């Protein structure tokens, strides 16, 4: 059945997030798979998810899954780490024959393929919900067997990224404070476990005391996984390249911020106000 859907090459890939941050995933997917059509949904009416309960995040995520299925997608990419941590299994069930990939599994796979030492020490930074779920730890143990995982919730980074304070002194001090929660010299790798954090890659690289620490960007990891999956299952489109964007509130604000995350301006953004009615 999965194969049937993917053989409909022209169907779009669905990507969703709690808001704008998932555009970092869209950017990576556009780069890795330039001939795919993409439907993106950002739940700007209900963002942030990272401070909400698992039950709430799950309910929102299932509504969005329905929305994307309605758009005829051939694959769903969960761009939001918080959703990946709280609702992945429910989304897989709801999506039926549509393959679902998530940033946490993709990030853990990238770690396992990056040739680290046996029993590496891996740092994970993410939202409060992602860290509390320990989903990265579970995924890393599944991939590597033996691994030391140290996690740090960084709730101030999402607002800083949305404000555009990427290289700002306040961002530098905040990041330094968070990174100090680790013994940063001991980290073999650091996973950027939140959609917004790839924007801080330069800052983090400069703050990390050891150049040996591998920085893993989950956005790039899921784009690579999606490409591999489509190639392996014969599901690649060769004639697409469109990008359709939907949000649940404030499309204008979304448009203003989009370029920072997507790396290019966004022109067409539609608003969806009746998400729950799709269930």
Which chain residues interact with ligand DGL by CB under 6 A? 17-19, 21, 47-50, 80-82, 127, 130, 158, 194-196
Structural tokens at position 172:
């530098």
Beta carbon nearer to ligand DGL, 111 or 158: 158
Sheet of strand 269-271, all strands in order from the earlier edge strand to the far edge: 100-102, 75-78, 13-17, 38-42, 243-247, 269-271
229 within 8 A of 101, measured Cβ to Cβ: yes
Min dist CB 32 to ligand DGL, Å, is 19
CA distances to 4, 117, 190, 214, 240 from 211, in Å? 45, 15, 12, 8, 39
Min dist CB 202 to ligand DGL, Å, is 19
Active site residue 194: yes
Strand partners, 191: 124, 216
Beta carbon nearer to ligand DGL, 36 or 43: 43
CA distances to 8, 80, 97, 175 from 181, in Å? 48, 24, 42, 10
Active site residue 154: no
Beta carbon nearer to ligand DGL, 15 or 47: 47
Beta carbon nearer to ligand DGL, 51 or 231: 51
Min dist CB 217 to ligand DGL, Å, is 12
Beta carbon nearer to ligand DGL, 6 or 223: 223
Min dist CB 176 to ligand DGL, Å, is 21
Strand, helix or coil for residue 118: coil
Distance CA 175, CA 164 (A): 15
Which of 154, 194, 236, 245 is an active site residue? 194
Min dist CB 18 to ligand DGL, Å, is 3
**Nearest C-alpha neighbor of 102 from the set 70, 65, 72:** 65
Active site residues: 80, 194
């Amino acid at each position: 059945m999965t194969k049937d859907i993917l053989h409909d090459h022209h169907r779009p890939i669905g990507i969703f997030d709690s808001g704008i941050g998932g555009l970092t995933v869209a950017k990576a997917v556009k780069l890795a798979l330039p001939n795919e059509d993409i439907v993106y949904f950002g739940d700007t009416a209900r963002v942030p998810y990272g401070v909400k309960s698992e039950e709430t995040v799950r309910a929102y995520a299932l509504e969005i899954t329905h929305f994307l299925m309605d758009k005829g997608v051939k694959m769903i990419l969960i761009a939001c780490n918080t959703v990946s941590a709280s609702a992945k299994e429910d989304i897989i069930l709801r999506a039926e024959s549509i393959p679902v990939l998530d940033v946490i599994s993709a990030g853990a796979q990238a770690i396992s393929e990056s040739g680290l030492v046996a029993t590496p020490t891996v740092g994970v930074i993410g939202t409060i919900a992602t860290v509390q779920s320990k989903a990265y730890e579970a995924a890393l143990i599944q991939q590597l067997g033996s691994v030391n995982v140290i996690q740090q919730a960084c709730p101030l980074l999402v607002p800083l990224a949305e404000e555009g304070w990427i290289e700002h002194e306040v961002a530098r001090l905040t990041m330094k404070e968070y990174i100090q929660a680790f013994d940063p010299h001991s980290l073999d790798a650091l996973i950027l476990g939140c959609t917004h954090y790839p924007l801080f890659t330069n800052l983090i690289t400069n703050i990390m005391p050891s150049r040996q620490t591998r920085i893993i960007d989950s956005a790039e990891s899921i784009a690579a996984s999606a490409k591999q999956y489509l190639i392996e299952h014969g599901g690649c489109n060769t004639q697409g390249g469109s990008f359709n964007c939907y949000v649940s509130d404030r499309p204008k604000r979304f448009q203003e911020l989009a370029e920072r995350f997507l790396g290019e301006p966004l022109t067409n953004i539609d608003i969806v106000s009746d998400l729950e009615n799709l269930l």
